[in-house]
Structure 1
Amino acid sequence: MGTPQIGTLNEKPLHEALKQWYAVPRDMFEVPVDGSVVDIVRDDLLIEIQTKNFSAIKRKLEKLVVNHPVRLVYPIPGEKWITKKADDGSTVSRRRSPKRGTYEQIFYELVRLPELLKNPNFTLELLLIEEEEVRRFDGVRGWRRGGWVTEERWLLRVIDRRILKSPADMLTFIPTTLAEPFNVSDLAATTKINRTLAQKMVYCLRTMDCLAPAGKKVNAILYVRLTTGANSTESRYKEKYK
Structure 2
Amino acid sequence: MEKDRFDEVSKDMIASERQKNGIGTLGEKTLHAILKNYYEPKIENQEIRMNGYVADIVNEHGIIEIQTRSFDKLRRKLDVFLELQPVTIVYPIPYIKWLKWVDNETGEVQKPRKSTRKGTPYMIFPELYKIKSYLSHPNINLCIVMLNLEEIKILNGWSRDKKRGAEKVDRIPTEIVEEIMVTSRSEYLKLIPDELIEPFTSKDYKEATKLSLSVAQTALNVLYSVGAVKRVGKDGRLYLYERVR
The TM-score with structure 2 as length reference comes to 0.80
Q: By percentage of residues, which structure has more helix?
A: 2
Is the contact made by 2:156 and 2:162 (CA closer than 8 Å) also made in structure 1? no
Output one character per residue of 1:14-58: Cα deviation in whole Å (capped at 9) or x when no partner: 111111222245861111011111111113611110112211222
CA distance 1:32–1:143, change in 2 (3 Å): farther
Percent identical among aligned pairs is 32
Deviation of 1:99 (Å): 1.3
Find the aligned partners of 2:227 and 2:37 in 1 and give their Cα distance: 35
The aligned residue for residue 240 of structure 1 is none
- Aligned length, in residue pairs: 219
Is the contact made by 1:79 and 1:97 (CA closer than 8 Å) also made in structure 2? yes
The aligned residue for residue 224 of structure 2 is 206
Mapping for residues 17-28 of structure 1, pairs under 5 Å: 17-25=34-42, 28=45
Q: 1:148 is aligned with what amino acid? A: A
Higher relative contact order (CA 8 A, sep 6+): 2
Paired residue for 1:106, among 113, 124, 131?
A: 124
Mapping for residues 9-88 of structure 1, pairs under 5 Å: 12-25=29-42, 28-43=45-60, 45-87=62-104, 88=106
Find the aligned partners of 1:142 and 1:161 in 2 and give their Cα distance: 39
Q: 1:51 is aligned with what amino acid? A: T
The aligned residue for residue 120 of structure 1 is 138
Is the contact made by 1:184 and 1:202 (CA closer than 8 Å) also made in structure 2? yes
Q: CA RMSD in A?
A: 2.5
Q: 2:71 is aligned with what amino acid? A: F
Bigger-Rg structure (1/2): 1
Deviation of 1:177 (Å): 3.8
Give the gaps of 5 or more residues in structure 2: 1-25
CA distance 1:10–1:150, change in 2 (3 Å): closer
The aligned residue for residue 146 of structure 1 is 164
CA distance 1:41–1:143, change in 2 (3 Å): farther
Deviation of 1:92 (Å): 2.9
CA distance 1:51–1:120, change in 2 (3 Å): same
